[in-house]
Structure 1
Amino acid sequence: MQKQQTALDKIKSTALSAQRKAIEAQARPGESIQQAQSRFLQESDEPEMDKPKKQAALSTLRQAPDSDGQRDFFIPAMWDVSTKDSRSLMDVAVFRLSKRDKRAGETIRHVLADGYVEVKAGPDGMASIWDYDIVLMAISYLAEGAKAYRAGRAEKPGRVFRPHISDVLKFCRRSDGGRQYEEIEAALDRLKNTTLKFVRTRPGKGGRVVREADAEGLISNYRTISYAETGRLMSVEIELPTWIYREVVDAKHPEVLTIDPAFFLIDLGIGRFLYRLARRAAGRGSAKWSYETIYQRSGSTGTFKKFTYALRQIIAANDLPEYTLSEEGGVSGPQLLMTHRGATMERPD
């Protein structure tokens, strides 16, 4: 009898283990195992005939590289810090969202409440949202250094950032291949030659309105070291612009927000833009933006109709890190509701 019970316990344990693996495999970015289990069981209980017949939505996330998460015990993990982004520009695209259209020499202007920001591309093309991954890494380490400085544990960080090239690829969750090394330098060219012009108005002395204009690149300068015989990059030195340094180090309250590491796995440019918008606008709650406003803030060169179609594809996939997306009707057109997954689970029935 005891042997039979032991055998039953082993079968039960194996079945539970298999179920857990199935749940983990189907968990969405940002879901806890408990949240995924609840959704998994609910969907399993739903009769097949009652499930709506629809075309399976394609995932917006790419697969993580094989080396993802592997660590060398003897090398400090420069890539293993919280990813930070500049809060002030998370709701506008200061880069192109297309992988194919280089947009060399083009200009994007975003009108804001107190002025506008103008993005001007150089001859190498406009920096892309994937190029911006390098800036995210630099901001993250600058924020970490500034935090240590304020706590009295380190000296005030400078504007120059010197990562090893493998650390850049690791942080951005890219594979360690030959082409990747070549692409890093091309990305740095575009980042240096994509200029941001900030124009703001503010009250001056005597009640007169003052107009301020500042222009800098997404990075100020860079220097690389590579093997002459192969051209393979070894290290890179990046000088950050003063506008980033002011926001992260000199500001009394640093203008940065932590973003999910799964951001780097979002394959679509629009998907990446939507995540940054949701992180800034919704935070741990929810926010609602019209499709028209999102289209304008994206700087897209395509038609509004094509943009709306792409937006609805991403909503159907609904696999962005941390946030669920849904469409709602509005007086002036469709609206996107962005809700943090934690906020969704905490709502009463």
Structure 2
Amino acid sequence: MPFPKTYVDQMLLNWGDRLFHDPLRHVRAPRMSRGELRRDVRRMREQLARTLRRTPEVMVKITNKASGAQGMGAVRRHLRYISRNGRVELEDQDGMAMLGREALHDLTNAWHLGGWGIAEESRRREVFNVLLSMPPGTDRQAVRNAARAFAAEEFGDGRRYVFAAHDDEAHPHVHLSIQVRGPDGKRLNPRKQDLQRWRERFAAQLREHGVDANATRRLARGETRRYPKQAVVHMTTRGEMPRYWRSELDEPTRRTLWAAHAAPLEAWRGVLHAMEGSQTADDRRLAAVITDFVRMMPVQHDRPEMERSDRDVRQRDRKPVHAHDLRHARRGEAQPDLFPEDPDVGVER
């Protein structure tokens, strides 16, 4: 018998939150009105649709996160870099455009001496340098406009910042430099969850400016590709072989990645179960799309050898899935595999 619509919506929110957002805490959730529930379900379906059609993912990166001393000397050098020594226009938090070496000099003096000031040398980070990027082919003006709106939304509390859009590379990107201390003296201290929120807000601003953009975690997409650091790129460009970095995954790394993807794959099975049992034909067609999407995840191709050899055992032990199985999964109990037609999809038991 098909599931009631309210049951499908609740299951979609439950498993979708586990897949796309931070892990749920064991606290009593506030009672939601019907309007709030419909709004959240609509947002979750939009997020699911963007992910399944492989919408381009935004990139937000703190480029000086591991740096040591960050006094005005380092800040001045970075502002010269992003402005190409005055040849690229900078824009500040008030929308004021600055172009030329004289304007750059005035800006650095204002940051050095104005407000809380930035010492010439400092043991503490005084500015966060953030890179906002999109894949090649994205409308560059839209990226710039979205970056402006994102910065105003996230840091528009009186905190000083400037940004510059670069058009000299294939990837449209914006460099955003933000002072650590705000007008009240509190220091900006972004964590991993803050970076994900920045990605989601930047993606939302891009969509507001006509660019289809997404901001999902790599685990939700089953990504396993390893990206080399800049030092490795420079070494390989010179023809040198890095001692410790390898592009290919070894077996211990495969096992670690597979274990890390266990929870996202479980959430995908929960979403699939809700779609398969829905009363609407569109949801049931979406279930087939989800199955293909999970089957083609890179993590499926990088499955550890021990998992590949055990797949016949899991295939033999499959059982029909019922709603109580999904409730048990919330307590950490194992679930049957929801992809019976594909033995390469599952989680480590």
Which bin holds the TM-score, normalised by the shorter protein? under 0.3
Between Structure 1 and Structure 2, the one with more helix by share is 2
Query: Normalised by the size of structure 1, how large is the TM-score?
Result: 0.26
Structure scoring higher RCO (CA < 8 A, sep ≥ 6) equals: 1
